[in-house]
Structure 1
Amino acid sequence: MAQLAQLITPVDTVVSRMRALDATLPERDGVAVFNRVYLAVTEEVDRRLDAGEFPDAEAAITLDVRFAERYLTVAEQGCAPACWRPLLQFRRHPGVRPLQFALAGINAHIGHDLALAVVDTCRTLGCEPADLEDEFERVGDLLVSMEERIREDLMPGPDLLQIADPLTHLLGSWSLERARDATWSAARALWALRGLPDLAEEFGTRLDAAVGFAGRMLLTPLPD
């Protein structure tokens, strides 16, 4: 058993926790929709780690795990910062589409949690954000490709994709690439403010609230 335990990486543990959530949440639940998306992303990161595609595996694993732990705390314990509250509030609303749930979760996790995870990782490894930029970009590129697949899988049929359709209009206002760029800037700002805890806390609170506002807009209930 000891030898087997040594083969289980922290990413494997994260994957196991997400699979456990998937088995217990109702399929249509908004958190369940996001969890399935995030599980697929994390499994792909784990596969690429095993394939040696991350030059600095320790940094990639630490960032991935610190990042995931922030979501898992919300999903498992219900203790949610402002960015996650819209998804928890609307998770069973019949007027919210699965694609909205998925993107609202991505918005909360990328827009807020990832910036804090970069800072957590820098503290853990004793490095600077610049030292994590390659890993950040690799994970970000994977998320962008996954977002494209999510939109294809969860978007309603072609008859609903007219430019005036409310869902098309709503989701066209949010971009993962823009969110990722803003997150990197936020992470660098938080790191620069680490010696000024009051300002860092204020910045983090405002970031949390702004991301939560965007999430609430993404979850606007739509007519059938």
Structure 2
Amino acid sequence: MAHCEQVISAAGTVDTVVSRMRSLGAALPARDGVAVFNRVYLAVTEAVDRHIDAGGFPDARAAIALDVRFAERYLTAVEAAAAARRPPACWRPLLQFRRHPGVRPLQFALAGVNAHVGHDLALAVVDTCRTLGCEPVDLEDEFDRVGDLLVSLEERIREDLMPGPDLLQIADPLTHLLGAWSLERARDAAWTAARTLWALRRLPDVAGEFTERLDTAVGFAGRMLLTPLPG
């Protein structure tokens, strides 16, 4: 793999975004939908940090840059909502329904993952390429390793937040929602979207339209994932 050459700034570290996520989580009620996703995302970001420290990435600088740019998109969306600014469409369903009593914690977690992987991950790859002066192919190993951690995270989400067997029956609407979305497919689509956006970087109007359509589509999927369900 060709290594990205530019070193990211000291301010843009995984520790910095972990600290911001911890502060955010401490300020939110546990049942808040953003808090539910934040706990999940904090866990995977800490796992990425441990993998970086253990030499688990071929290019640690590229892994740090990708992880930080990825996290910053989520944190910026939450901060925009807190400041009464309009967040990206992909995040609006979670931010609007975060206190709805008919939405289960598992739905909040998956809606957050949908927004972050379906929209933010592709843009984070492009952000990282611009920061480091490299091509998406140079980040493929880091992308795949982060993606593997995210897939393992999805399994953990389902184990930790899944209702008991007596509640999760074939007729339960949550069963149908769970079967309608796949993190692995979302990750594959994010890589394709990142490569497409990079190819379109000299056509800003087309790239902007593509990004807007991606944002809208991911937001629509998130709204479906947050359909209020009977208790």
What is the rounded CA distance, in whole Å, between the counterparts of 1:105 and 1:18 in structure 2? Answer: 14
Aligned residue among 35, 39, 59 for 1:36: 39
| Partner AA of 1:74 in structure 2 | A
What is the rounded CA distance, in whole Å, between the counterparts of 1:100 and 1:221 in structure 2? Answer: 9
What is the rounded CA distance, in whole Å, between the counterparts of 1:218 and 1:80 in structure 2? Answer: 18
Q: How has the CA–CA distance of structure 1 residues 210 and 7 changed in structure 2, closer, same or farther, with 3 Å as cutoff?
A: closer
Give CA deviations for 1:32-85 in whole Å, capped at 9, x if unaligned: 000000000001101111111111000000000000000011122314100000
TM-score normalised according to structure 1 size:
0.95
Q: Is 1:11 paired with 2:14?
A: yes
Q: What stretches of structure 2 of length at least 5 have no aligned partner?
A: 1-8
- Equivalent residue, structure 2, for 1:189: 196
Q: What stretches of structure 1 of length at least 5 have no aligned partner?
A: 1-5
Matches within 5 A, 1:133-212: 133-212=140-219
Q: Is 1:59 paired with 2:66?
A: no
What is the rounded CA distance, in whole Å, between the counterparts of 2:158 and 2:197 in structure 1? Answer: 31
Give CA deviations for 1:124-148 in whole Å, capped at 9, x if unaligned: 1111101100000000000000110
Percent identical: 83
2:58 is paired with a residue of what secondary structure? coil
How many residues end up aligned between the 2 structures? 219
**RMSD of aligned residue pairs (Cα, Å):** 1.3
1:83 is paired with a residue of what secondary structure? coil
What is the rounded CA distance, in whole Å, between the counterparts of 2:92 and 2:180 in structure 1? Answer: 20
Q: Is 1:126 paired with 2:133?
A: yes
What is the rounded CA distance, in whole Å, between the counterparts of 1:105 and 1:131 in structure 2? Answer: 27
What is the rounded CA distance, in whole Å, between the counterparts of 1:96 and 1:161 in structure 2? Answer: 15
Q: Is 1:92 paired with 2:99?
A: yes
Question: Does the 8 A contact of 2:25 with 2:35 survive in 1?
Answer: yes
Give the helix-richer structure, 1 or 2.
Answer: 1
Q: Is 1:218 paired with 2:221?
A: no
What is the rounded CA distance, in whole Å, between the counterparts of 1:157 and 1:81 in structure 2? Answer: 34
What is the rounded CA distance, in whole Å, between the counterparts of 2:67 and 2:152 in structure 1? Answer: 17
Question: Does the 8 A contact of 2:12 with 2:65 survive in 1?
Answer: no
Question: Does the 8 A contact of 2:17 with 2:71 survive in 1?
Answer: yes
TM-score normalised according to structure 2 size:
0.92
The runs of at least 4 consecutive aligned structure 1 residues that moved more than 6 Å come to 6-9
| Partner AA of 1:82 in structure 2 | A
Superposed displacement of residue 9, structure 1: 6.8
Give CA deviations for 1:96-131 in whole Å, capped at 9, x if unaligned: 000000000000000000000000000011111011
- Equivalent residue, structure 2, for 1:3: none
1:101 is paired with a residue of what secondary structure? helix
What is the rounded CA distance, in whole Å, between the counterparts of 2:159 and 2:143 in structure 1? Answer: 25
